[in-house]
Amino acid sequence: MHTTAQKLNGSEIFFECLRREKVDTIFGYPGGALLKVYETLYDVTDIKHILVRHEQGATHMAEGYARATGKPGVVLVTSGPGATNTVTGITNAYMDSSPMVIFTGQVPSSLIGNDAFQEADIVGITRPITKHNFLVKDVRDLATTIRKAFFLATNGRPGPVLVDMPKDILNATCEFIWPDSVDIRGFKPTITCHANQIEKAAKKIAAAKRPLLYIGGGVISSNASKELTLLAKALNIPVTMTLQGLGAFPASEPLNMGMLGMHGTYWANQAVNKCDLLIAVGARFDDRVTGKVDTFAPQAYKIHNDIDPTNVDKNIKVDLPVVGDSKDFLSQLIKALPEKSENHDTWLAEIDVWKKQCPLTFTVENDSLKTEFVISTVSEETEGNAVVVTDVGQHQMWTSQYYHFNNPRSIITSGGLGTMGYGLPAAIGAAFGIQDRPVVLFCGDGGFMMNIQELVTAVHYKVPIKIFLLNNSFLGMVRQWQELFHQEKYSFTDLDDSNPDFLKVVEAFGCKSMRAENPAQAEAAIKEALAYNEGPVFVEFRVIKKDMVFPMVPAGGSISDMLLERLNPKTMV
């Protein structure tokens, strides 16, 4: 133990711990249970506190920051409603394995359980949606608890960890002792992959005729893009990625197959169907990827690397599980591979045929605008190098199809939970972490309203995000399902009569704003927005109402049953 004989109060200890954890930015909102913390914060100059306008916004900002930088996102909110408002954001981070530490104020220890003013059992509420959580009962435990929280959030499979701090603990004083190391006997994640498993995997890879790499967010969070690129190119193995895996392998590489799954590319899904070896790395066989599990990759020997053993054999039975960090898995594999392996030219040629059969295309008309065109144009203008944040829905899927990600940590999107309202705050958070690349937000008109209050935060701190609102005056993805599967009963998805005038709203917030209604206006607005760096800039794209995302695998269907277009759904497959 490293001792400094200094006596500090709980609030001072809190900030001292953040310094030790090298936290430079926190997202928070003050309140009664946190008065002491905010009193201390008043004189803190080395940690930037971002004042949000709703605690949910703080959690999504922290997650955006975490995903863009790889560092844990930190949230500070008060007890009761402050704490309960974080629940959606915490769940989102849990589902997408984002490292986050959430600090909640709590009523004084003596009042806990008494239904005190602004009391909520946030430790109880967040138990199933955090990796772990703590209630601090003694100021002498505060530093160790915070150390443990950061350790848990960032080691093994990352995730959110919550620390609940009663008001009296934050006022009480004790000696500040920062533990040099952390030992949690119930938490020993396997980082290094077993050598035998690697050897088996290497043999299978060397012998495979039609191998396919299926890459998930684990490759991004373990910073293993370099290793992945090396491996894929050395052996000529095509790479398909999940929504969270996009960017792990550059879109500019010919081996890049884009996304697989429900709205994945035709050729990626065909390759899954026909491959003889599927190498899943840092991916979890989510239902949006597999469709009907019995018919997923039916001919393939399946290798599955994941850091979380619970992901192995959860949805799909695999032939060779390799538990461990994806970076370790890929680097060990590169070393273990024999000099000679199969030539995959025939396989790649086969894939090329599928690619030519059903490419991703859309039509452009002079007097109307499509989301696909907007995203495509932004992709070209930024050369695939922006940090792209999305909300949830059709525009999110089109982003996966038409934005060509060339770098890891470049798509920040709510994948597991599908949280509408995620985009705007997540983009703000990402921009606090990343200054050398543009941060672009694609958002629908439905989701934009769900956390619109954070526009104040963006304007106040002059956060230079590009807010691209794709306004089709519909909850577009739900509308698409209603059209395809629910007899065109557009039940409560048409927002045309109720949406506000977005330009006026955004202007009232003090944000620069533009509108585009055709491709020419759109191109001009995108260029202008990308060149503007004084603060946030907003462009409303009035896109056509009834556009649909294709290809599409109907929920629970086999990925060989892809719908390729609206009118003759099953003709192509």
Partner 1 sequence: MKHLISVLVENKFGTLNRVASMFSARGFNLQSISIGETEDPEISRMTIVTRGDDQIVSQVLKQLNRLIDTIKVTDLTHQPHVERELLLMTLKLSKATQHEIFELINVFKGKVVDIKQKSITIEVIGSPDKINTTIDIFRPYGIRELARSGAVAIHRGE
| Cα 131 to Cα 441: distance, rounded to the nearest angstrom | 28
Q: Which is nearer to partner 1, 312 or 424 (CB)?
A: 312
Look at residue 485 and give its three-state secondary structure: helix
Indicate which single residue of 70, 141, 182, 187 sits in contact with partner 1 (rule: CB under 8 A).
187
Q: Is 487 in the site for partner 1 (CB under 8 A)?
A: no
Question: Could you say which of 21, 55, 119, 372 is catalytic?
Answer: 55
Q: How far is the CB of 176 from partner 1 (least distance, A)?
A: 24
Residue 550 token pair: 């294709």
Q: Which of 95, 477, 514, 552 is catalytic?
A: 477
Contact present, 498 and 480 (Cβ < 8 Å): no
Number of residues that bind partner 1 (CB under 8 A): 19
Residue listed under structure tokens 């003759």: 568
The angle that helices 10-20 and 142-154 make with each other, rounded to 10 degrees, is 30
Please say which residue, 308 or 561, places its beta carbon nearer to partner 1. 308
Residue 534 appears among annotated catalytic residues: no
Q: Give the CA count within 13 Å in the CB-facing half-sphere of 272.
A: 32
Q: Is 179 in the site for partner 1 (CB under 8 A)?
A: no
- Is 131 catalytic? The answer is no
Does 128 bind partner 1 (CB under 8 A)? Our answer is yes
Our finding on whether 304 is near partner 1 (CB under 8 A) is no
Q: Tell which one of 52, 66, 123, 262 touches partner 1 (CB under 8 A).
A: 123
What's the CA gap between 257 and 240, in Å, rounded?
5
Burial of 571 (0-12, 13-18, 19+ CB in 10 A): exposed
* DSSP result, 224-263: -HHHHHHHHHHHT--EEE-TTTTTSS-TTSTTEEEE-STT
Q: Catalytic annotation on 118?
A: yes
Tokens of 212: 């396919």
Instruction: Identify the burial level of 28 via C-beta atoms within 10 angstroms of its C-beta, where 0-12 means exposed, 13-18 middle and 19 or more buried.
Output: buried
Report if residue 512 touches partner 1, rule: CB under 8 A: no
Instruction: By CB under 8 A, name the one of 20, 200, 314, 512 that touches partner 1.
Output: 314
Contact segment (CB under 8 A) with partner 1 among 39-47, 180-188, 231-239, 506-514 equals 180-188
Kindly compute the dihedral angle of the four CA atoms of residues 122, 123, 125, 131, in this order, to the nearest 10 degrees.
Answer: 130
55 a catalytic residue? yes
518-549 as b/e, with b when 16 or more CB fall inside 10 Å? bbebbbebbeebbeeeebbbbbbbbbeeebbb
Q: Cα angle vertex 444, ends 439, 446, to 5°?
A: 130
Is 167 known to be catalytic? yes
Q: Which of the ranges 303-311, 371-379, 483-491, 528-536 carries the binding residues for partner 1, by CB under 8 A?
A: 303-311
Provide, rounded to whole angstroms, the least separation between the CB of residue 128 and partner 1.
Answer: 5
Complex with partner 1: residue 227 or 306, whichever CB lies closer? 306
Which residue from 138, 199, 313, 365 is in contact with partner 1, where contact means CB under 8 A? 313
Distance CA 552, CA 529 (A): 32
Interaction between residue 152 and partner 1 (CB under 8 A): yes
Q: Considering the complex, what minimum distance in angstroms separates the CB of residue 77 from partner 1?
A: 21
Which is nearer to partner 1, 114 or 173 (by Cβ)?
A: 114
132 binds partner 1 (CB under 8 A): yes
From 117, 173, 184, 520, residue interacting with partner 1 (rule: CB under 8 A): 184
Q: Which stretch binds partner 1 (CB under 8 A): 129-137, 163-171, 239-247, 421-429?
A: 129-137
Residues that bind partner 1 (CB under 8 A): 123-124, 127-128, 131-132, 135, 152, 184-187, 308-310, 312-314, 317
Catalytic site residues?
A: 55, 117-118, 167, 477
